[in-house]
Chain A
């Protein structure tokens, strides 16, 4: 079933009775060419691109809960391509291009809104760093505009320009960045994969990975064993547990990252605004809620909820940047489980087991990567060689020290990102 404006009007006239479930609920088959462990954003986009780009449709996505119930449903929906390091730069550039074509490609309204991402800076040194980053973004073929304080004022007149500790020296505006509807991205990829024959199997927890003589043979699940020629792990915060089933110990530590949303208010904020000095960023959802967040709680956690100190810190930063926000009431907060890698960059790679693949380490930046991660992972699974934009996301870079992707320049160590 295709979606169109005509279809919406027709259903409106006939009581909305013609809508059908958009994917099947199949029983697991005894064997697949490829099993993808994890039915989140990255797993579903991987399945979609396996089918669409490589014609591999004998594929199952195994999800222990429901589709899109993990971090794809627990993020702050920001899309951007403002990375600096070669390796990250081309990857996120590719991802943004896929975002721009996603709605047509999937025939699904993902509410992609290129409202601009504005990074504020507060000193001459920080301006120099942003000029350099902006030039890197232009070099990678994307967009960046350096704004003066007056230019920032045109975008966000209500932030505190007189703050003595962090005066606004300007901002770097990335106009093609923005937000998208997080759930719709998962649903759009799920529908696209299902239409091409991929089995999306929910409530199916993988409990073991079968390996014989260094070759993967399939998985054990809560719904019985399933054989497969290739198995692809893409489970975000639970990466360490699933990889352990294959005898691997990963360079990953799971942390909680909190986010918050206010009650709905009238349109006030056009862009995504980040206030790096306060570890704070904010946007306004299409429903009117102010969506904002900060940094990790900074201790290993699988709780999917945080503690008060970081909540207070985020509120402090919000009041510092935008005093008017004190009038809005916080509606709810939530936490996601982040698969933190030592250098803050992801891993898309083969493993020492033939036919077993690994995609993890997205830290707190996985949402914007959903299309390009699936695209690159599908390529790796189908062709056994890395896709060109993800060629540097190697698992062994920590062991060798070569090709570390420390975007923040803070060091390749677990408690620094």
Chain B
């Protein structure tokens, strides 16, 4: 599997650390309450099909990226910088 880093281009999966679903970018406010925090930390849609997840290009440029890919076929559909995903709500 190769991931398209927006800064470096197509790179081997070995260069990336997997954090988990991109829902990790939607951190609740401090006073959002226990349910919101439990949901954020533990519960997942866990889709069989298209998903968006967060990877760190740790052995490359160091960018955090949001990758859109298919969990059933391992097809990689695109990637954007996590910074942009957070700012604009854009999707890869």
Identify B35's interface contact among A241, A254, A300, A399, CB under 8 A. A399
Q: Is the pair A342, B46 in contact by a Cβ cutoff of 8 Å?
A: no
In whole angstroms, what is the CA distance A241 to B20 when docked? 18
**Could you list 26 examples of A-B contacts with CB < 8 Å?**
A238-B48, A240-B45, A240-B46, A240-B47, A249-B43, A250-B43, A251-B44, A253-B20, A254-B48, A254-B71, A300-B20, A300-B21, A300-B46, A301-B71, A302-B48, A307-B1, A307-B74, A309-B13, A309-B14, A342-B42, A398-B41, A399-B42, A414-B21, A414-B44, A415-B19, A415-B20
Chain A contributes a number of interface residues (CB within 8 A of B) equal to 25
CB distance from A64 to the nearest CB of B (A): 13
Extra pairs beyond A240-B47, A251-B43 (15, CB < 8 Å): A249-B44, A250-B44, A250-B46, A253-B20, A253-B21, A299-B53, A300-B20, A301-B71, A302-B72, A303-B74, A398-B38, A398-B42, A399-B38, A413-B41, A414-B21
Look across to chain B and name the residue whose beta carbon is closest to the beta carbon of A313: B14
CB distance from A369 to the nearest CB of B (A): 21
Residues of the B chain whose Cβ atoms lie less than 8 Å from the Cβ of A251: 42-44
Interface string of B22-52 (1 = CB under 8 A from A): 0000000000001100110111111110010
With A252-B46, A253-B46, A254-B46 known to touch, is A303 a contact of B72 (CB < 8 Å)? yes
B88 within 8 A of A: no
In whole angstroms, what is the CA distance A395 to B39 when docked? 13
In whole angstroms, what is the CA distance A307 to B71 when docked? 13
Q: Is the pair A253, B44 in contact by a Cβ cutoff of 8 Å?
A: yes
Q: Is the pair A252, B44 in contact by a Cβ cutoff of 8 Å?
A: yes
Residues of the B chain whose Cβ atoms lie less than 8 Å from the Cβ of A399: 34-35, 38, 42
A298 within 8 A of B: yes
Interface string of A292-312 (1 = CB under 8 A from B): 000000111111000101000
Chain B contributes a number of interface residues (CB within 8 A of A) equal to 26
- Beta-carbon contacts under 8 Å, A393-417 to B: 398-399, 412-415
- Beta-carbon contacts under 8 Å, A244-273 to B: 244, 249-254
In whole angstroms, what is the CA distance A307 to B3 when docked? 13
CB distance from B11 to the nearest CB of A (A): 12
In whole angstroms, what is the CA distance A244 to B41 when docked? 18
Q: Which 5 A-B pairs have the closest CB atoms?
A: A240-B46, A251-B42, A399-B38, A398-B42, A302-B48
Most buried by B among A299, A300, A342, A413: A299
Residues of the A chain whose Cβ atoms lie less than 8 Å from the Cβ of B35: 399
In whole angstroms, what is the CA distance A300 to B21 when docked? 8
With A300-B21, A415-B19, A415-B20 known to touch, is A307 a contact of B13 (CB < 8 Å)? yes
Q: Is the pair A300, B71 in contact by a Cβ cutoff of 8 Å?
A: yes
CB distance from B29 to the nearest CB of A (A): 18
